């Protein structure tokens, strides 16, 4: 089924208005050689059929709503009001709010989102969203390089390896240099930076879950005029000292833990927040409060001179479509929980993860890799390769033991726990793991 409303009469009347007889005439300006290729696609389906087909495909997956998997995405509980409100057609089917008089819904929601992200990160300003945590990191580093007019970047190995891969792709493109500082004992060691370095990047809690002490890096970076990009899981900011308080200049991260399902990896949203002085370097959309001709408060897109549709080749980024709806879900989630609820979710996640770590570390052949203190994810060294263990667990109905890339060591697996896990789940996983090892 297609969704065109045109009846045969409509088509006839409209063609007639154009002095045409046949729809093919609409494509008369195309070279003949190109016209009407034979597309080999499956036969059309009705709505009923596609849903039946997709349900069959869905049945080939096992849901991960109780997964002990992390790496930045985790199964957190999303209050029912979040999807219900985000799915309202006005939010769902609008585009970029270029016409503010009829877009106050999205604009004000972004303004509030920006405020929440600024509050979480302890920084001054957030933009309206970026694609994901990795893109946010890349944009954050490019921002730092623009500001410092330098081309050197130092990144801790504690930063999510996929984020570092994306960063490398972006930096290669502009010819910047990327140096990685290896973790020691699961933590980022102190480092020194030379004057070519414009951005230093660290993540806390880091990829292995450990809470870093960012102070030495911040101090060393600032001493040499470099800016600090701090990657933070927003859930951790419910409890942990925010990047701004640590002295970071730029905070970035992935918003999935705020009100979004895991979606097999996407979409979620990336956030970026910076100090006031960096605002005009920010990529992407920004919403500002203003007033209308009658003096009423309202909101508009602001500082568009940074953006591609105005500045073209000199724009701060090429980004146009961002992650508005998923960021909106993040804001709704935070609004629904409030500061206390948000802290309680984080605390529950921490408590479950620590209980799980203790439980699993008691299994024979298992070794704790992530040092204390850690947050809600942690790595273990397993007696067997992680993919095998993960497969063994999956057969038993458990999702856990995400393989950690070999650069961090052999047979490492990442575990996470959240407020969605109950005591029974922890015990169930431990028992299953024991079986897999047996």
Pick out residues in 214-273 that bind other proteins (CB under 8 A).
Answer: 237-242, 245, 254, 261-267, 269
Among 354, 368, 420, 434, binds a copy of itself (CB under 8 A): 420
Check residue 379 for interaction with other proteins (CB under 8 A).
Answer: no
| Interface stretch with other proteins, choices 41-49, 220-228, 363-371, 430-438 (CB under 8 A) | 41-49
Check residue 93 for interaction with a copy of itself (CB under 8 A).
Answer: no
Check residue 77 for interaction with a copy of itself (CB under 8 A).
Answer: yes
The nearest distance, CB 184 to other proteins, in angstroms, is 18
Binder of residue 120, out of other proteins, a copy of itself, none (CB less than 5 to 8 A by kind)? other proteins
Q: For residue 310, give every residue at least 6 positions away whose Cβ sits within 8 Å of its Cβ, in sequence order, or none.
A: 304
Binder of residue 42, out of other proteins, a copy of itself, none (CB less than 5 to 8 A by kind)? other proteins
Among 201, 328, 369, 429, binds other proteins (CB under 8 A): 328
Residue 46's Cα: distance from chain center in Å?
34
Question: Which residues 46-65 are close enough to bind a copy of itself by CB under 8 A?
Answer: 47-48, 51-52
Helical spans, DSSP H, in 362-406: 386-395
| Interface stretch with other proteins, choices 182-190, 360-368, 388-396, 426-434 (CB under 8 A) | 388-396
**Of 435, 384, 404, the residue nearest 183 (C-alpha):** 404
Check residue 21 for interaction with other proteins (CB under 8 A).
Answer: no
**Of 230, 234, 233, the residue nearest 246 (C-alpha):** 230
Check residue 361 for interaction with other proteins (CB under 8 A).
Answer: no
> For residues 323 and 138, what is the distance between their CA atoms, to the nearest angstrom?
16
Among 61, 80, 99, 293, binds a copy of itself (CB under 8 A): 80
Check residue 125 for interaction with other proteins (CB under 8 A).
Answer: yes
Binder of residue 425, out of other proteins, a copy of itself, none (CB less than 5 to 8 A by kind)? none
Check residue 150 for interaction with other proteins (CB under 8 A).
Answer: no
**Of 77, 65, 64, the residue nearest 336 (C-alpha):** 77
Instruction: Indicate the SS3 state at residue 430.
Output: helix
SS (H, E, C) 135-203: HHHHHHHHHHHHHHCCCEEEEECCCCHHHHHHHHHHHHHHCCEEEEECCECCECCCCCCCCCEEEEEEE
Check residue 364 for interaction with other proteins (CB under 8 A).
Answer: no
Check residue 26 for interaction with other proteins (CB under 8 A).
Answer: yes
Residue 216's Cα: distance from chain center in Å?
27
Q: Which is nearer to a copy of itself, 38 or 423 (CB)?
A: 423
Check residue 7 for interaction with other proteins (CB under 8 A).
Answer: yes
> For residues 75 and 69, what is the distance between their CA atoms, to the nearest angstrom?
8
Q: Longest C-alpha distance within the chain, in Å?
A: 82
Sheet architecture: strand order including 197-203? 125-126, 270-274, 250-254, 227-231, 197-203, 152-156, 177-181
Check residue 88 for interaction with a copy of itself (CB under 8 A).
Answer: yes
Check residue 424 for interaction with other proteins (CB under 8 A).
Answer: no
Query: What residues make contact with a copy of itself under the rule CB under 8 A?
Result: 47-48, 51-52, 77, 79-80, 84, 87-89, 419-420, 422
């Amino acid at each position: 089924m297609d969704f065109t409303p045109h009846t045969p009469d409509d088509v006839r009347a409209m063609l007639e208005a154009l002095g045409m007889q046949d729809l093919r005439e609409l494509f008369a300006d195309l070279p003949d050689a190109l016209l009407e290729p034979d597309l080999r696609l499956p036969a059309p389906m009705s709505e009923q059929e596609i849903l039946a087909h997709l349900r069959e495909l869905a049945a080939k997956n096992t849901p991960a709503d109780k997964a002990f998997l992390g790496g930045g995405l985790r199964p957190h509980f999303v209050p029912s009001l979040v999807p219900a409100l985000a799915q309202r057609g006005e939010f769902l089917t609008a585009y970029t709010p270029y016409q503010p008089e009829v877009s106050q819904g999205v604009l004000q929601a972004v303004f509030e989102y920006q405020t929440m992200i600024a509050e979480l990160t302890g920084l001054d300003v957030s933009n309206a969203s970026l694609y994901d945590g990795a893109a946010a990191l890349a944009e954050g580093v490019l921002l730092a390089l623009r500001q410092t007019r330098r081309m050197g970047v130092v990144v801790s190995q504690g930063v999510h390896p996929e984020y570092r891969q994306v960063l490398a792709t972006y930096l290669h493109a502009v010819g910047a240099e990327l140096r990685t500082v290896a973790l020691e004992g699961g933590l980022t060691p102190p480092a020194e930076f030379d004057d070519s370095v414009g951005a230093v990047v660290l993540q806390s809690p880091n990829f292995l879950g450990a809470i870093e002490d960012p102070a030495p890096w911040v101090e060393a970076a600032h001493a040499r005029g470099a800016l600090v990009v701090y990657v933070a899981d927003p859930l951790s900011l419910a409890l942990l000292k925010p990047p701004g308080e640590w002295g970071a200049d730029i905070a970035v991260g992935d918003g999935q833990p705020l009100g979004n399902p895991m979606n097999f990896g996407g979409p979620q949203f990336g956030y970026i927040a910076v100090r006031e002085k960096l605002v005009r370097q920010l990529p992407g959309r920004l919403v500002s409060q203003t007033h209308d001709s009658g003096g009423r408060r309202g909101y508009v897109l602001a500082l568009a001179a940074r953006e591609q549709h105005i500045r073209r080749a000199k724009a701060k980024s090429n980004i146009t479509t961002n992650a508005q709806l998923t960021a909106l879900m993040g804001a709704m989630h935070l609004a629904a929980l409030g500061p206390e609820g948000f802290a309680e979710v984080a605390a529950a996640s921490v408590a479950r993860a620590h209980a799980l770590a203790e439980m699993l570390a008691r299994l024979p052949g298992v070794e704790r890799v992530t040092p204390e203190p850690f947050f809600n994810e942690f790595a273990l060294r397993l007696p067997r390769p992680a993919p095998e263990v993960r497969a063994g667990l999956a057969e038993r109905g458990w999702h856990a033991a995400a393989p950690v890339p070999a650069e961090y060591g052999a047979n490492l697996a990442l575990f996470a726990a959240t407020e969605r896990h109950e005591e029974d789940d922890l015990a169930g996983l431990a028992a299953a793991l024991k079986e897999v090892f047996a």
